[in-house]
Amino acid sequence: MSTQANGNVGIVIVSHSPDVAKGTAEMVRQMVGEEVPLAFCGGNPDGGLGTSVEAILAAIDRAWSEAGVAILVDLGGAETNSEMAIEMQPEARAGRIVVCNAPIVEGAVIAATEASGGASLETVRRTAEELSPA
Amino acid sequence: MIDEAKKRALIEAMAAAMVGHAEELTALDQAIGDGDHGLNMKRGFEAVLADKDVIAAKPLPDALKAIGTTLVMKVGGASGPLYGTLALALAKELPADPSRDDLARALRGAIAAVKARGKSESGQKTMLDVLEPVAAALENGADPVTAANGAAEATIPLKAIRGRAAFLGDRSIGHMDPGARSSALLVAAIAGVLEGGSNGGG
């Protein structure tokens, strides 16, 4: 789709647990390789279980790709905080970051697999969301 | 008139309410959520409190914007974006020296923003179930604190549809919603400062 190094959709993993976020990212790297910009974050601003908008903003920056970024989340606050982080993005990124309604581990692996083949953000999201029960 | 001293008093009162009730909020959240609401709100409002002098020196809309941004960044749970959005929306809607009518109108606008953020409606056992009756009380000349406390109690028989508590389904019935409780506590803290002021008009 693109010959740019950052031409593939980036993946961001947001879990309440730093360990889950890190472990999920390790699975993505092992199963999908280095072809996809990937970042993860987990834990609240004090380092306990939870999520942090500040950390999500930083993760989006690290995984940023002109093709967009797909975010995989675990539970409630991870989703709400990710949506907040998306709204706080600069205008130039508008519409190019989505939260996938998919299980975090399976969703991250399948989204990254799709992204590594150069799929569009919408295709990456749709593929990840096929994992969710209707 | 919400002057600098009053803004500082509002921040102190809200922080005291959240710090003083952190354990109670956490206990409510342990019953039907993930048990972090008290700690999260305490962390967020302690961060606001640490900046109180800087925030209180700003005009009211800018002060609310600073409070909202701090809550978004520091709370660490879903309540951060939800309360943050509430404050940020109030910041957009309120004039520097609001009347009670301005408060009611701004709160209605802020409630709409919280609904959009949480993809939620009233009756789903959330903070909205307190905020809407408070807006109605402001509009109808009723006491917002009485309305808030009654509305928080009224979340006990409700079944959660949004948030973590929704996983529990029918088992969420019989517990007060922690977000409804924290909203009622904040309403009481705010009213205590505004009504304790010069004209008592609230």
pLDDT in tens, A72-96: 999 888 999 999 999 999 999 989 9
pTM of the entire predicted model: 0.88
Q: What is the pLDDT of residue B135?
A: 98
Is A84 at the interface with chain B, CB within 8 A?
yes
∠ CA A105-A124-A113, nearest 5°, is 60
Q: Does A1 touch chain B (CB under 8 A)?
A: no
Cβ distance of A83 and B78 shorter than 8 Å: no
Note whether B118 contacts A: Cβ–Cβ < 8 A: yes
| A46 contacts A73 by C-beta, under 8 angstroms | no
- Residues from chain A contacting residue B82 (CB–CB below 8 Å): 80
**Angstroms from B60 CA to nearest CA on chain A:** 22
Work out the pLDDT band at A3, boundaries 50, 70, 90.
very low
Q: For B176, which DSSP code?
A: -
Considering CB atoms only, which of A16, A46, A84 is closest to B72? A84
**pLDDT at position A77, please?**
87
What the block records as the tokens of A104 is 């975090």
Going A62 to A63 to A64 to A70, the CA torsion angle's sign is: negative
CA distance B172 to B155: 10
Q: Does B38 touch chain A (CB under 8 A)?
A: no
- Residue A57's pLDDT is what? 97
Q: How many CB pairs under 8 A join A and B?
A: 59
- Average pLDDT (A59-84) is 95
Identify how many contiguous H helices and E strands chain A contains and give both numbers: 5, 4
Q: What is the pLDDT along chain B (202 residues), one digit of tens a residue?
A: 899 999 999 999 999 999 999 999 999 999 988 888 999 999 999 999 999 999 999 999 999 999 999 999 999 888 999 999 999 999 999 999 999 999 999 999 999 999 999 999 999 999 999 999 999 999 999 999 999 999 999 999 999 887 767 778 888 899 999 999 999 999 999 999 998 754 434 3
The predicted structure's pLDDT at residue B1: 84
Residue in A52, A75, A79 nearest the CB of B76 = A52
Please tell me the distance in Å from B170's CA to the nearest CA on chain A: 19
